[in-house]
């Protein structure tokens, strides 16, 4: 698995930080609303960016950029993710990881070794709709629960985020969803935007009234629940 994309300047991916975003190639999910469908489904060997070139570029950004974000795809599928993070961290950058939470073992290693400053984990849906929302026939929700617990208990800072898509979230079990992320301090409810890169065309954003309804319901237990993009 390789790095196949780079955003050389982002003001959006790490709040209050200037960052560089690295996009890994593969993902073990097929979320129909994913904006990175080209990287997930269509990236080839020719798209691979040599990591030494990435490091050379980052050295020119020391003092200008605060952080490097490992995104995807699913970056925990990179066999040498820890090595890459250590190499970037040695240059003095903060590290943010975007993950779907399917690899709690690696996530715990990275947290225990102090290699992550911020983690953003996607929470796709309530448990009984999780696999469908991910475009899969089955998913081990226990791994998702383990990753949630790890972030709550071990991450220096973190956010959970859920992209609200009408076709998948209008039938969400609010109570089961709240139980899934019980103990969380921060959740963003994100507006879905139908873009060219999406795996499935023709999906729709959840209505802002429904998004606010969900936010109000969750706010009784989660200190920070915010809408993003609405």
Give the number of other CB atoms < 10 A from CB of residue 54. Answer: 18
pLDDT at 227: 98
Domain that includes residue 84, residue range: 3-228
Lowest-pLDDT range of 29-38, 63-72, 98-107, 160-169: 29-38
39 or 185, greater pLDDT = 185
Average pLDDT of the segment spanning 20-34: 92
Average pLDDT of the segment spanning 100-125: 98
Nearest to 48 by CA among 4, 80, 1: 4
Residue 99 CA neighbour count, 13 Å, CB half: 27
pLDDT above 90 coverage of the chain, percent: 87
Total number of domains in the chain: 1
Residue 45 DSSP label: G
Average pLDDT of the segment spanning 152-174: 97
pLDDT at position 90 over 70: yes
pLDDT at position 41 over 70: no
Residue 206 DSSP label: P
pLDDT at position 38 over 70: no
Give the number of other CB atoms < 10 A from CB of residue 105. Answer: 11
pLDDT at position 1 over 90: no
pLDDT at 43: 58
CATH assignment at residue 138: 3.20.20.70
185 or 196, greater pLDDT = 185
pLDDT at 53: 97
pLDDT at 130: 98
Instruction: Give the whole-angstrom CA distance, residue 158 versus residue 175.
Output: 22
As a three-state string, the secondary structure of 145-178 is HHHHHHHHHHCCCEEEEEEEEHHHHCCCCHHHHH
pLDDT at position 39 over 90: no
Paired sense of beta strands 3-10 and 19-24, if any? antiparallel
pLDDT at 25: 84
pLDDT at 46: 64
Average pLDDT of the segment spanning 118-140: 97
Q: Helix 51-59 crosses helix 81-89 at what angle (to 10 degrees)?
A: 20
Mean pLDDT of the chain: 94
Q: Residue 187: enclosing H or E segment and its boundaries?
A: strand 186-191
pLDDT above 70 coverage of the chain, percent: 95
Instruction: Give the whole-angstrom CA distance, residue 145 versus residue 125.
Output: 12
- Would residue 2 be called left, alpha or beta, if left means φ above 0 and alpha means ψ between -120 and 50 degrees? beta
Nearest to 177 by CA among 124, 115, 137: 124
């Amino acid at each position: 698995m390789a790095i196949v994309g780079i955003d050389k300047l982002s003001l959006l991916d790490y709040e209050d930080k200037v960052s560089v975003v690295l996009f890994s190639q593969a993902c073990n999910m097929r979320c129909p609303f994913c904006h990175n469908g080209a990287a997930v489904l269509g990236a080839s060997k020719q798209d691979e960016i040599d990591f030494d070139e990435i490091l050379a570029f980052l050295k020119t950004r020391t003092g200008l950029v605060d952080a490097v974000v490992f995104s995807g795809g699913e970056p925990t599928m990179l066999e040498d993710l820890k090595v890459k993070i250590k190499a970037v961290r040695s240059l003095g950058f903060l590290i943010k990881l975007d993950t779907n939470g399917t690899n709690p073992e690696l996530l715990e290693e990275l947290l225990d070794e102090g290699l992550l400053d911020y983690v953003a984990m996607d929470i796709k849906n309530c448990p009984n709709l999780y696999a469908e929302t991910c475009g899969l026939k089955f998913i081990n929700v226990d791994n998702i629960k383990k990753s949630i617990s790890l972030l709550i208990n071990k991450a220096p800072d973190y956010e959970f985020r859920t992209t609200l898509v009408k076709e998948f979230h209008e039938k969400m079990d609010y109570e089961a969803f709240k139980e899934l992320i019980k103990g969380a301090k921060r959740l963003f409810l994100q507006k879905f935007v139908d873009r060219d890169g999406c795996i499935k065309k023709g999906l729709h954003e959840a209505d802002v009234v429904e998004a606010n309804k969900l936010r109000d319901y969750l706010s009784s237990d989660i200190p920070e629940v915010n809408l993003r993009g609405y």
